[in-house]
C-alpha cells in the first residue's frame, strides 16, 4: 500500500520526534553521545532527517522502551559489545500529601496504588520485550508478538533487515495488526526464491528512477508495469500458499484479544498522577504518521508508484 499523499523526503527535528514518539531534546542527546549520527542540515542550518535516520530512531525508541540503556544501544549498533539483558528495577518513593482527612489519605493511596500497578505492567512489558529479543536473537524480537509469531519457522537468513525495517515502519503507522498482515508478503518472498529475485530486480529498477529521470521518461511507465506484474504474481503466491486465509485468523485473534480497544479511556496516557506515561505517541493517527515519515522518493519514482496503482485499480474495475 502506498501513501495517498506525497510524503516529505526529509523532515525537521520536531516532526522526527513526533513520529518516533520522543522529544527533540532526546534526539539531540542521541547525537551528543554518538548514538545517532549527525544528519545533513538544510539551508537554514537546521537538522534534516531522512528515511534511514528515522529507521534508526525507531529502533532506538523500541530498545529504550524495552529497558535497554542508551550506552548498550550504542554498542549494539556499533557491533562492539555483547547484548546484556538486565532489567532495571523500579524504585518506589514515598508520596507526600497535604490531605487533612482520612478521605484525602485514601485518595492519595489509591492514586499511588494505580501508579504502582502501571509501573508493574510496564516492567512486565519490558521483560517480555527483552526475552523476545533474546529468543529471536535479533531486532525482530522488538516487533509485536502478533508479528514475530507469524515469522516463526522461516528459513534462517531468509528474512532481511530491510524486511524488518519495513515491518517496523508499518507497525508504527498501522499498528501490530497491519504489520502482521504485511508479514505475509515477506513470508512469501522468503519461501519463494524466484519471487525474491524478481522483487530485488523491480526494487532496483525503481531505485534507478532517481532525480535525473524525468517523470515522462518511458522507463517510468515500464517499471510501473513491471511492479504491477510482480505484485500480481506475489498476490497469487500468497493466495496459493494459504497466507491470505491466515489474515482472517489474525483479524479474529486481534478482535478477541482487544475487546475494549474501541472504548479507550479519555485520559489514556496518564499514569493516575496526571503525568504522561510516555506512550501517548501511540495514539497518532495513520494519516499523521504518514505525513511525518520521510521517504526519499524522486518525482519519477512517485509517478511510477502512481501508475502502478492506476494499473491495479483499472484491472480491479475491469474484473
pLDDT digits (tens, 9 = 90+) for 262-288: 444 444 433 333 333 344 445 677 778
Query: Is residue 280 within 8 Å of residue 288, measured between CB atoms?
Result: no
Residue 86's pLDDT is 38
Question: What DSSP designation does 74 have?
Answer: H
pLDDT reading at 218 higher than 80: yes
* Cα 227–Cα 232–Cα 236 angle in degrees, nearest 5: 145
Above 60 in pLDDT, residue 108? no
Phi, psi for residue 41 in degrees, rounded to 5:
-115, 145
Least confident among 19-23, 38-42, 58-62, 241-245? 241-245
Place of cell 474501541: 262
Contact 170, 182 (CB under 8 A): yes
Report the largest interatomic distance among the alpha carbons of the chain, rounded to a whole angstrom.
80
pLDDT digits (tens, 9 = 90+) for 31-52: 999 999 998 888 888 999 999 9
> What is the separation of C-alpha 177 from the centre of its chain, rounded to a whole number of angstroms?
12
CA angle 56, 144, 80 (to 5 degrees): 40
Distance CA(222)–CA(165), nearest Å, equals 27
Q: How does the average pLDDT of the chain come out, rounded?
A: 79
What pLDDT was estimated at residue 149? 83
pLDDT in tens, 145-162: 888 888 888 887 788 989
127 band by pLDDT with thresholds 50, 70 and 90:
confident
**Ranges of H-type helices in 208-294:** 218-241, 243-257, 286-292
Amino acid at each position: 500500500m502506498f501513501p495517498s499523499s506525497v510524503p516529505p523526503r526529509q523532515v525537521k527535528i520536531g516532526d522526527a520526534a513526533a513520529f518516533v514518539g520522543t522529544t527533540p531534546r532526546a534526539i539531540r542527546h542521541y547525537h551528543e553521545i554518538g548514538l545517532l549520527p549527525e544528519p545533513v542540515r538544510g539551508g537554514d542550518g537546521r537538522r534534516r532527517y531522512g528515511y534511514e535516520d528515522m529507521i534508526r530512531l525507531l529502533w532506538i525508541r523500541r530498545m529504550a522502551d524495552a529497558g535497554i540503556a542508551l550506552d548498550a544501544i550504542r554498542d549494539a549498533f556499533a557491533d562492539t559489545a555483547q547484548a546484556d539483558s538486565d532489567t532495571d528495577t523500579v524504585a518506589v518513593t514515598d508520596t507526600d500529601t497535604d490531605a487533612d482527612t482520612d478521605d484525602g489519605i485514601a485518595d492519595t493511596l489509591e492514586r499511588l496504588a494505580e501508579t504502582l500497578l502501571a509501573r508493574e505492567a510496564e516492567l512486565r512489558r519490558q521483560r517480555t520485550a527483552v526475552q523476545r529479543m533474546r529468543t529471536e536473537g535479533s531486532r525482530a524480537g522488538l516487533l509485536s508478538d502478533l508479528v514475530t509469531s507469524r515469522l516463526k519457522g522461516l528459513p534462517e537468513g531468509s528474512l532481511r533487515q530491510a524486511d524488518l525495517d519495513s515491518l517496523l515502519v508499518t507497525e508504527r503507522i498501522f499498528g501490530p495488526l497491519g504489520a502482521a498482515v504485511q508479514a505475509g508478503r515477506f513470508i512469501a518472498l522468503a519461501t519463494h526464491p524466484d519471487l525474491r529475485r524478481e522483487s530485488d530486480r523491480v526494487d532496483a529498477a525503481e531505485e534507478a528512477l532517481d532525480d535525473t529521470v524525468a517523470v515522462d521518461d518511458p522507463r517510468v511507465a515500464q517499471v510501473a508495469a513491471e511492479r504491477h506484474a510482480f505484485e500480481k504474481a506475489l498476490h497469487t503466491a500468497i493466495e496459493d500458499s494459504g497466507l491470505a486465509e491466515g489474515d482472517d485468523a489474525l483479524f479474529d485473534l486481534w478482535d478477541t484479544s482487544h475487546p475494549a480497544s474501541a472504548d479507550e479511556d479519555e485520559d489514556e496516557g496518564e499514569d493516575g498522577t496526571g503525568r504522561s506515561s510516555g506512550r501517548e505517541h501511540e495514539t497518532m493517527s495513520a494519516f499523521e504518521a504518514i505525513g511525518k515519515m520521510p521517504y526519499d522518493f524522486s518525482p519519477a519514482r512517485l509517478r511510477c508508484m502512481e501508475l502502478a496503482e492506476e494499473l491495479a485499480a483499472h484491472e480491479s474495475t475491469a474484473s
